[in-house]
């Protein structure tokens, strides 16, 4: 760990370990709960639907608990930094845009969201001596979207959700034809 404020630790590994163990424990308990709903015993036609998943949930919960206990036992050595502030800011600066991109998709459709996402990602890259020009950004983002349309929709016939705007453009195009 360095002393500068930029790379100061955000959170200790032990907390993340504990958090993830708790998360998997919750999943295990949820799986057990859902299996009990379906019946975990022996029905008329053999094992009931929840028979197998129940033990999966049980194993998951037990292993998670054990992981949590192991974290508590090694509490001191696990105090090392999980991620520094600077690094985490880097990760968030990518993760938040991805989350926004994914959340926008049902409303805007895949094409528009992707084009804006790529364009924004390029536009905000200030680490370069010379930022990308407008034409460059436009060409790359529209080119990528066009390529995915050609490959998925046209050649392999896997229709992608174009969103309300895309559908409007599509019907306009058809009426023009």
Partner 1 sequence: MSEFDSLLQGMNLILTPGHIGLMVVGVLLGILVGVLPGLGAPNGVALLLPLTFTMSPVSAIILLSCMYWGALFGGSITSILFNIPGEPSSVATTFDGYPMARDGRAAEALTAAFSSALIGALAGVLLLTFLSTRIAEFAMTFSSPEFFAVYLLAFCTFIGMSKNPPLKTVVAMMIGFAMAAVGMDTVSGNLRLTFDQPALMTGISFEVAVIGLFGIGEILCTVEEGLVFRGEHARITPMVILRTWAKLPRYWFTILRSTLVGCWMGITPGGPTAASFMSYSIARKFSKNRDNFGKGELEGVIAPETADHAAGTSALLPMLTLGIPGSATAAVMLGGLMIWGLHPGPTLFAEQHDFVWGLIASMYLGNVVSLLVVLATVPLFASILRIPFSIIAPIIIMVCAIGAYSVHNSMFDVMLMLGFGALGYLFKKLGYPIAPLVLAAVLGDKAEDAFRQSMLFSDGQLGIFWSNPLVGGLTTAALAMLFWPIISAGIKAAFGWRNRHAIKAKTL
Near partner 1 in 46-105, by CB under 8 A = 46-53, 56-57, 59-60, 63-64, 66-67, 70, 82-83, 87-88, 90-91, 93-95, 98-99, 101-103, 105
Near partner 1 in 111-170, by CB under 8 A = 114, 117-118, 121-122, 124-125, 127-128, 140, 144-145, 148, 151-152, 156-161
Between residues 77 and 172, which has the closer beta carbon with respect to partner 1?
Answer: 77
Dihedral pair phi/psi, residue 48, rounded to 5°: -75, 165
Q: Which of 83, 36, 43 is nearest to 61 (CA)?
A: 36
Q: Which residues contact 61 (CB under 8 A, 6 or more apart)?
A: 25, 28, 29, 32
Stretch that binds partner 1, among 1-9, 10-18, 168-176 (CB under 8 A): 10-18
Interface with partner 1 includes 15 (CB under 8 A)?
Answer: no
Stretch that binds partner 1, among 1-9, 37-45, 169-177 (CB under 8 A): 37-45
Give yes or no for a contact between 114 and 148, defined as CB atoms under 8 angstroms apart.
Answer: yes
The H or E element containing residue 9 is strand 9-12
Name the β-bridge partners of 47. Answer: 42
Stretch that binds partner 1, among 4-12, 28-36, 166-174 (CB under 8 A): 28-36
Q: Which of 62, 67, 63, 65 is nearest to 13 (CA)?
A: 67
What proportions of the chain, in percent to the nearest 5, are helix, strand and coil? 75, 5, 20
Can you read off the two tokens belonging to residue 148?
């995915």
State the residues that interact with partner 1 by CB under 8 A.
Answer: 13, 16-17, 20, 24, 27-28, 30-31, 34-35, 38, 42, 45-53, 56-57, 59-60, 63-64, 66-67, 70, 82-83, 87-88, 90-91, 93-95, 98-99, 101-103, 105-106, 110, 114, 117-118, 121-122, 124-125, 127-128, 140, 144-145, 148, 151-152, 156-161
């Amino acid at each position: 760990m360095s002393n500068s404020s930029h790379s100061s630790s955000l959170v200790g590994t032990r907390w993340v370990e504990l958090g993830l163990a708790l998360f998997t424990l919750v999943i295990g308990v949820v799986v057990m709960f859902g299996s009990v709903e379906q019946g975990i015993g022996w029905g008329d036609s053999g094992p009931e639907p929840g028979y197998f998943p129940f033990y999966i949930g049980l194993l998951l919960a037990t292993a998670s608990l054990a992981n949590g206990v192991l974290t508590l036992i090694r509490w001191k050595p696990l105090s090392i930094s999980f991620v520094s502030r600077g690094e985490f800011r880097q990760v968030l600066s990518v993760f938040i845009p991805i989350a926004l991109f994914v959340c926008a998709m049902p409303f805007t459709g895949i094409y528009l969201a992707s084009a804006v996402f790529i364009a924004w990602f390029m536009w905000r890259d200030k680490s370069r001596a010379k930022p990308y020009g407008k034409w460059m950004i436009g060409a790359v983002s529209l080119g990528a979207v066009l390529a995915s349309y050609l490959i998925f929709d046209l050649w392999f016939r896997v229709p992608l959700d174009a969103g309300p705007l895309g559908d409007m453009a599509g019907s306009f195009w058809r009426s023009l034809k």
